[in-house]
């Protein structure tokens, strides 16, 4: 049932007061004294508003309710003063250590555009199938420039099988092994991908896995602080030697063939990884 304007006039206050400015009390004054100061200020405010001069300027209608309406605006249960937040102590101004909650298995988020081989973290471009002599070539060829935020120092031409394996190894093995050394893994020194040649470019040898786009050669690993863990320079007698050896071992299994400085004179300066299948399992030296 609706209420008419006539039904509400008797209950409406004569004067609708604007909020009054709260008195400012210096911070060095105790809370007890501050309360007295605020109470006094409110009392003075009521007195001023209820003074004859103030009442004289109120609307002529129902003047007797004016004073009551003014006093009704101050509740006995109201908080006397809403204190401003205190300044934080200096001890809280020091930045707290931030915990990195990103797990090793999580990957950098990418838009679909620019991804290859069905993996958003693999950045590059698809190219036309590669054709070569004597069995060389790649049917699903791609040119890779980045692996889940880890940049390749040069664009590498390989097939999608090798590209996916590189992606998995970087995320599951390489990144965790490098850890926070030098700020973490930033890049990979890629020196070879597809190449139509025999193994180690020797005359009469069988076709290399490079000739099928199934192999990559890595000369080093770039850290975020700018350092480079070089296979040639740091494999022995360096602070990075242990990390490089762990990286070499971690590839054995995920990759079908793993060769390094201890395998032969052809791999003194790089790691060779390929996806070849061997009867006895992965071949690692």
Domain ranges for the chain:
24-76, 115-284
Let me know: does 62 contact 55? Beta carbons within 8 Å: no
Q: What does the alpha-carbon distance between residue 239 and residue 243 come to, in Å, rounded to a whole number?
A: 8
3-state secondary structure of 85: coil
Let me know: does 10 contact 3? Beta carbons within 8 Å: no
Whole-prediction pTM value?
Answer: 0.62
The per-residue pLDDT for range 135-171, each reduced to its tens digit, is 999 999 999 999 999 999 999 999 999 999 999 999 9
* pLDDT of the residue at 191: 97
Confidence of residue 113 (pLDDT cuts 50, 70, 90): confident
| Top-confidence residue, 35 or 157 | 157
Q: Kindly tell me if the per-residue pLDDT of 63 is higher than 60.
A: no
Confidence of residue 80 (pLDDT cuts 50, 70, 90): low
Mean pLDDT in residue range 209-222: 98
Confidence of residue 34 (pLDDT cuts 50, 70, 90): low
Q: What does the alpha-carbon distance between residue 51 and residue 110 come to, in Å, rounded to a whole number?
A: 71
Q: What does the alpha-carbon distance between residue 128 and residue 51 come to, in Å, rounded to a whole number?
A: 93
């Amino acid at each position: 049932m609706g209420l008419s304007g006539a039904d509400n006039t008797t209950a409406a206050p004569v004067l609708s007061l604007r909020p009054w400015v709260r008195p400012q009390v210096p911070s060095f004054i105790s809370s007890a004294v501050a309360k007295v100061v605020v109470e006094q200020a409110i009392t003075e405010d009521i007195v001023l508003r209820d003074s004859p001069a103030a009442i004289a300027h109120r609307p002529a209608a129902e003047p007797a309710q004016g004073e009551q309406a003014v006093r009704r605006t101050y509740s006995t249960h109201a908080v006397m003063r809403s204190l401003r937040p205190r300044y934080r102590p200096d001890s809280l101004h020091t930045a707290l250590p931030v915990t990195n909650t990103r797990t090793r298995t999580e990957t950098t988020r990418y838009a679909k555009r620019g991804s290859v081989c069905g993996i958003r973290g693999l950045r590059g471009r698809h190219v036309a199938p590669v054709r070569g002599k004597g069995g060389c070539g790649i049917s699903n060829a791609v040119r890779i420039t980045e692996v889940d935020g880890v940049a390749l120092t040069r664009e590498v031409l390989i097939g999608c099988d090798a590209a996916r394996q590189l992606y998995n190894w970087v995320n599951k093995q390489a990144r965790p092994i490098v850890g926070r050394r030098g700020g973490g893994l930033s890049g990979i020194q890629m020196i070879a991908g597809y190449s139509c040649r025999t193994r180690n470019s020797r005359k009469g040898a069988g076709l290399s896995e490079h000739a099928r786009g199934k192999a990559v050669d890595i000369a080093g690993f770039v850290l975020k602080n700018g350092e480079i863990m070089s296979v040639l320079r740091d494999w022995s007698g360096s602070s990075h030697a242990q990390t490089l050896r762990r990286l070499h071992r971690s590839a054995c299994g995920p990759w079908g063939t793993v060769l390094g400085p201890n395998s032969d004179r052809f791999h003194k300066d790089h790691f060779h990884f390929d996806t070849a299948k061997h009867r006895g399992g992965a071949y690692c030296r």
